[in-house]
Structure 1
């Protein structure tokens, strides 16, 4: 049998054991990363600077691009809100860890241990951190390992800033940790969740959604700045001060201060002999800037959520039907995100834990992580339409109903809800347990701890009435199996009526009526 250390080296490489004892970012070679501050490349951003940042990223330097993307999400409410919504829609889903198909006892135990570990961490935070890969194209979360006896387990993963990483100069798809070398430090096996999120096609530097959003972000900032300048210049009336020909420089300066003060404070004083005139504010067109900003808003919503009507940036003529179409497109993106998160969690967490603790070497036999993205039907609509469809002869499997309704199927021996019992047609009648006169009198005059006579009457009437009607039910059930239509059933019931046994039922009804009559007379005598 292969030893645990040999198995670790075989599956994950020679440096894998280091990650089980310490975090790579604690290494002295990369310690300077924790002392870095963001440079905020959005300051003074223009088309030339943006092009340089994107080009540098393609050549391996991801730092400026990563910091630009963080600034965009922080400063632009549209980008921040829509990306946050897309991440949250996946994070709020119920998660599940299951063994692979045809699992043996060892694989089932691996799934149980993984589910127990995940119950102890914040899975929603993990999904939100992985969701940063939508904009950047990737996300690296550092793993910390704990130990319980011989069992290894992961603790809450930590998202590391995207600016800490770079691309290997010889491989555009290999992400390394920035250190003092030209290539960067390779990430330790077992030490990271290396999530690659394919929001768009391309290699690592170009697969982030923020690459698509950078230009609308820049254009909208230009339009917003121009609009603010327009409002500042054309939103106020011009103020002109007039001074006499023999005015001194001091008097001119005094007049200028008064003009400025009137613009800011709407109050001021001027020397005698001078005058002020207010001209009507010049008219400027703000609609051209607003049109540019609206286009940028819609472009960002389409890129992030697949449409505008789920982002609040649509036109006023939107219809509910169009909104439903956009929502279905958005749901397709959420399902794709959920599958990609599950793939990274399975590859970087579940398989390593299964291999370390249970010796499972094949990733395909490791436990599987799922986020429930199933859409359930409206229960009220389903309950109204399904009986009609079934009555038409449709053969609908039970698993389909559970899937569409979202109601789980009860396990063997599990307590389940039961339908409410139909009221007996004899519930209003009263029948004594034994001879009517003697039994009723005994219960009326006896100890109050004994059962009420009315309850005993109802129980006996239901029991004996059901027994008397059972032959009727058997005849009618057999008849329903024979006929082919409701009309035929109606005609056959009319024919069957004379042949139904009524003697037992008539006897039960006679006794019930007699008991009820005697009970009523007794109540009158006792003054009830």
Structure 2
């Protein structure tokens, strides 16, 4: 089967652009059309002199297919408005800095596993963070198109670093508002080549392509804030400086009047000047003016932009000073929800436009659902302390909890046969049976009154557990300590007195009896283990 036939079989019938995209890029391919002129275009910066009427015309033209002015306006907004640039950059960066991985589908076949390994190797050679940042421009515009360049190593084909193309290069098809084409000399534009583009659609809000991004929500606060800033600047210029009044005599000539006027004007910025003799300049007290209403408008615009981009104001630094830590945590959780939505959309686009084509061309994966998946890990895990306190209780209740779930919730990878495994440190529990009942060390009276718990029946070949031997044999020594402690507690008058009496009484504690008991218990455990291994070996030989 030829390459063209294979492409048509995998991705449907179509034109030869599918195979052509593997050899050249669409923006370099056709010099006869105006596509080649796109790289020589300069932005028109529609934000200059922006008015509500002009803004309405730009947005209306975008809905009718002309995306150029709207795209350039959004780029200007991100450059000129520090808050929009910072908040959008933060949202993109939060996704771009996450750890990525490429995983095969569930119950993957050998070919699907090889495809996942191959794609992961290709991505190791790419700037994945740049790829995510470029796709993140779709948050404001609603979409982002990155052009692919293909290379080959023998029979295997792989992509080079995708290149983000300016949003102003594209338009909407005249008959389909959700179909983006490349601007050329035709009315509807040139269709984008299959396998030649990463066509990312970012659904920051519902709607068709021209209205899908956050830019249309941000443009109005951006415009209102510019007006408020301009009015505030005029207020400071008018009311921040004292008025200057020049006085000239009645017989002054026009030339002398002009000289006085120049002196008055220059004094506003130079604070120095000369005037003819007989004339005077008086400085009046600066007129009063209030900037509260302009500042309120500016703050409203800032909060509106922060809520649109990050889902709240506290993660953008625009919150009020009375906010609490709890409210800040709520805003941070809202921001995390947006990031999770972003990374799922990035992953879906990368699987469709990059991973599936490479898996299909090189390994014959003809179903997109069986293609490798691109995953960004947010590293969200449950609280270790909460899991440690609740899981044992749930297990004791009879819940069948799989180990993989616990590993996933804690973020702790499951050990392989080659890994060294941490083991719990052995701890002696002379009061083990009493502690099992209460979950805490027993009191003095409880230690003496706690009945001995019988050891459960064991198979004949199994020796008595070392813990039972240790608990039974050590009980006389422990009883002696308990009696001595009881006397000390009864005689002590204060806590300090109790502390000094205990230190004095147990400074030369006799540990020989307990050490002997522990040695006997360990010996019993050793012999029991050897006996168990021997009996199991005999049983295996008998059954074998």
Same fold (TM over 0.5): yes
Find the counterpart in structure 1 of residue 81 from structure 2.
Answer: 76
Find the counterpart in structure 2 of residue 144 from structure 1.
Answer: 149
Find the counterpart in structure 1 of residue 10 from structure 2.
Answer: 11
Pair 1:222-2:221 in alignment: no
Which one of the candidate residues 66, 69, 86 is aligned to 1:64? 69
Question: CA separation in 2, counterparts of 1:124 and 1:314?
Answer: 30
Cα drift, residue 273 of structure 1: 1.2
Return closer, same or farther for 1:393/1:199 CA change in 2, 3 Å cut-off.
closer
Find the counterpart in structure 2 of residue 25 from structure 1.
Answer: 27
Cα drift, residue 418 of structure 1: 4.3
Find the counterpart in structure 2 of residue 199 from structure 1.
Answer: 204
Instruction: Judge conservation of contact 2:3–2:19 (CA < 8 Å) in 1.
Output: no
Instruction: Judge conservation of contact 2:27–2:36 (CA < 8 Å) in 1.
Output: yes
Pair 1:322-2:324 in alignment: no
Return closer, same or farther for 1:371/1:506 CA change in 2, 3 Å cut-off.
same
Cα drift, residue 397 of structure 1: 5.2
Return closer, same or farther for 1:499/1:199 CA change in 2, 3 Å cut-off.
closer
Cα drift, residue 9 of structure 1: 2.2
Return closer, same or farther for 1:494/1:49 CA change in 2, 3 Å cut-off.
closer
Q: Deviations over 1:319-355 (max 9, x none)?
A: 1111111111111110000000000000000000000
Question: CA separation in 2, counterparts of 1:6 and 1:334?
Answer: 40
Cα drift, residue 255 of structure 1: 1.4
Counterpart mapping for 1:63-142 below 5 A: 63-142=68-147
Q: Which runs of no fewer than 5 residues in structure 1 stay unpaired?
A: 426-471, 513-528
Question: CA separation in 1, counterparts of 2:43 and 2:77?
Answer: 13
Count residues in correspondence. Answer: 453
Which one of the candidate residues 491, 503, 506 is aligned to 2:450? 491
Question: CA separation in 2, counterparts of 1:69 and 1:501?
Answer: 81
SS at structure 1 position matched to 2:205: coil
Question: CA separation in 1, counterparts of 2:59 and 2:342?
Answer: 25
Find the counterpart in structure 2 of residue 518 from structure 1.
Answer: none
Cα drift, residue 254 of structure 1: 1.8
Find the counterpart in structure 1 of residue 297 from structure 2.
Answer: 292
Question: CA separation in 2, counterparts of 1:265 and 1:85?
Answer: 43
Question: CA separation in 2, counterparts of 1:110 and 1:145?
Answer: 17
Cα drift, residue 371 of structure 1: 0.7
Pair 1:164-2:169 in alignment: yes
Counterpart mapping for 1:366-515 below 5 A: 366-377=371-382, 382-383=384-385, 385-389=386-390, 392=393, 398-419=403-424, 491-493=450-452, 500=472
Question: CA separation in 1, counterparts of 2:470 and 2:412?
Answer: 46
SS at structure 2 position matched to 1:492: coil
Question: CA separation in 2, counterparts of 1:373 and 1:364?
Answer: 23
Instruction: Judge conservation of contact 2:170–2:181 (CA < 8 Å) in 1.
Output: yes
TM-score (norm 2): 0.78
Return closer, same or farther for 1:345/1:253 CA change in 2, 3 Å cut-off.
same
Task: Name which of structure 1's ranges 183-192 and 2-11 shifts more when overlaid on structure 2.
Answer: 2-11
Return closer, same or farther for 1:398/1:492 CA change in 2, 3 Å cut-off.
farther
SS at structure 2 position matched to 1:20: coil
SS at structure 2 position matched to 1:304: helix
Find the counterpart in structure 2 of residue 349 from structure 1.
Answer: 354
Q: Deviations over 1:145-185 (max 9, x none)?
A: 01000111011000000000001101111100011111111
Cα drift, residue 130 of structure 1: 0.3
Find the counterpart in structure 2 of residue 359 from structure 1.
Answer: 364
Return closer, same or farther for 1:292/1:362 CA change in 2, 3 Å cut-off.
same
Return closer, same or farther for 1:258/1:508 CA change in 2, 3 Å cut-off.
closer
Cα drift, residue 11 of structure 1: 2.7
Cα drift, residue 247 of structure 1: 1.2
Which one of the candidate residues 169, 184, 191 is aligned to 1:186? 191
Question: CA separation in 2, counterparts of 1:221 and 1:494?
Answer: 81
Pair 1:255-2:260 in alignment: yes
SS at structure 2 position matched to 1:270: coil
Q: Deviations over 1:157-215 (max 9, x none)?
A: 00000000001101111100011111111000000000000001111111111011111
SS at structure 2 position matched to 1:110: helix
Return closer, same or farther for 1:259/1:196 CA change in 2, 3 Å cut-off.
same
Return closer, same or farther for 1:267/1:60 CA change in 2, 3 Å cut-off.
same
SS at structure 2 position matched to 1:100: coil
Cα drift, residue 390 of structure 1: 5.0
SS at structure 1 position matched to 2:304: helix
Q: Deviations over 1:59-117 (max 9, x none)?
A: 11111110011101111111111110110111111111111011110000000000000
Pair 1:270-2:269 in alignment: no
Which one of the candidate residues 287, 290, 303 is aligned to 2:308? 303
Instruction: Judge conservation of contact 2:434–2:450 (CA < 8 Å) in 1.
Output: no
Question: CA separation in 2, counterparts of 1:227 and 1:484?
Answer: 73
Question: CA separation in 2, counterparts of 1:100 and 1:206?
Answer: 34
SS at structure 2 position matched to 1:166: strand
Task: Name which of structure 1's ranges 98-107 and 314-323 shifts more when overlaid on structure 2.
Answer: 314-323
TM-score (norm 1): 0.80
Question: CA separation in 1, counterparts of 2:287 and 2:395?
Answer: 73
SS at structure 2 position matched to 1:277: strand
Find the counterpart in structure 2 of residue 521 from structure 1.
Answer: none
Find the counterpart in structure 2 of residue 443 from structure 1.
Answer: none
